[in-house]
């Protein structure tokens, strides 16, 4: 869906892509709309107490 992911499907990256895909919790990468939802939250007043934080949107892969 994005140039970064599209590049992962090139022949020289396929093995790494397949390994990463097997490790995914939900079996697929987060779609851009999921990333956008997190960004919208962080830009909203509801996130006013969130400062200096890295918020991975990776279905828990880095947890």
Banded pLDDT at 43 (limits 50, 70, 90): very high
CB atoms closer than 10 angstroms to residue 29: 21
Its sign, for the CA torsion 39, 47, 52, 23, is: negative
pLDDT number for residue 22: 66
pLDDT number for residue 21: 67
Q: Where are the domains of the chain?
A: 3-47
* Residue labelled with tokens 């779609």: 31
Residue 35 has pLDDT above 70, yes or no: yes
CA–CA separation, 46 and 25 (whole Å) = 27
């Amino acid at each position: 869906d994005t140039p970064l992911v599209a590049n992962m499907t090139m022949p020289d990256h396929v093995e790494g892509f397949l390994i990463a895909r097997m490790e995914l919790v939900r079996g697929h990468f987060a779609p851009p709309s999921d990333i956008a939802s997190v960004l919208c939250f962080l830009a909203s007043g509801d996130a006013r107490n969130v400062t200096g934080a890295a918020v991975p949107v990776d279905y828990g892969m880095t947890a």
